[in-house]
Amino acid sequence: MSAYTEHETIQVLIVGAGIGGLTLANICKRLGLRYLVLERSAAVTPVGAGISLAPNCLRVLDQLGFLPEIEREGQRLRKIRIFRNTTQWNMLDFDSTEKTFGYPVYKIERHAFHSALYRVAGEEHVLLGAQVVDVVDDAEKKLVTVTLADGREISGQIVVGADGIRSATRRALAKRGGETIINSTIRFTGRTHMSGYTAPLEHLGPEEEGVGTWMLYDDSIFTTWPCKDKRQWFIGVQAIVIASGFKGRGPLSLEKRQQGHDQWSVW
């Protein structure tokens, strides 16, 4: 539960409690700044996919104290095998990454990483159910005020929009600047997608741990990524070439499905 009070002076208002917003919250905490994260959802829930943390990310996260947890909860990426159709075409070797850049590459489940960021940022600094509908800059008072859907107004010295592809912050600033409001409708890409996690693959030997696979076909891609405990995160994407063969599954159908479901996650 947030410990925020209406009379408190906030230095940094962060819209969105995703990975970007919570990382910034942790930076503010490390710098001793007063911060508040505004999250539209009523709860912070474990959602999402496997994600990659490259050396440039790990450098920042190490400075914030998260590296031991990433090493514990993640899987170091060692190699990626690349296939063209059914023939192995190339091999990417990541074993030298740490020597070259100072840090390796890690794969980690998004919910584990997100939970760590949320825990350290402090739930008392996250205001849930706070849907931003407007942002107003008061130059005289040197404050920025956000208006929430329930009518509450919260002011801070800086507002940072970290609220994703449906960004209310971006729309509000575009409107204030006289720009065309960005269309936030989710558009059909012409591709279908499937993804998920395997159960632990106990048959994998030590030489297979930390190894991913890219399988490249003419109209599709299938990739696997190593995760903790010998599990694999997999992603398959296929292009839909003949739209008529997928009647009822095109853009119009997707837009209808979206109506009334603006809380759906997109990742």
Domain range annotation of the chain: 12-79+92-177
Query: What is the structure's pLDDT at 183?
Result: 60
In 3D, which of 134, 153, 113, 131 has the Cα closest to residue 23?
A: 113
Query: What is the structure's pLDDT at 177?
Result: 77
The identity of residue 100, as a single letter, is T
pLDDT surpasses 90 at 140? no
CATH level 3 topology of 12-79+92-177: FAD/NAD(P)-binding domain (3.50.50)
CA dihedral angle for residue 253, residue 187, residue 146, residue 37, rounded to 10 degrees: 100
Of 32-36, 106-110, 186-190, 196-200, which range is least confident?
A: 186-190
Backbone angles phi, psi at 57, to 5 degrees: -70, -45
In 3D, which of 24, 118, 23 has the Cα closest to residue 11?
A: 24
pLDDT surpasses 50 at 135? yes
Question: pLDDT, tens digit, for every residue of 32-90?
Answer: 999 999 999 999 887 778 899 999 999 999 999 999 999 999 999 999 999 998 899 99
Query: What is the structure's pLDDT at 8?
Result: 67
DSSP, collapsed to helix, strand or coil, labels residue 133 as strand
- Cβ-contact 145, 135 below 8 angstroms: yes
Backbone angles phi, psi at 193, to 5 degrees: -140, 140
Query: What is the structure's pLDDT at 116?
Result: 95
Rounded Cα distance between 221 and 195, Å, is 12
- Cβ-contact 46, 67 below 8 angstroms: no
Rounded Cα distance between 219 and 192, Å, is 11
- Cβ-contact 2, 125 below 8 angstroms: yes
* Vertex 7: Cα angle to 3 and 10 (nearest 5): 70
Query: What is the structure's pLDDT at 132?
Result: 95
In 3D, which of 165, 61, 164, 161 has the Cα closest to residue 116?
A: 61
pTM above 0.85, yes or no: no
Cα-only R_g, the chain: 22
36 or 1, which is more confident? 36
pLDDT surpasses 90 at 226? yes
Count of other CB atoms within 10 angstroms of residue 160: 20
Rounded Cα distance between 152 and 225, Å, is 44
CA atoms within 13 A on the CB side of 39: 22
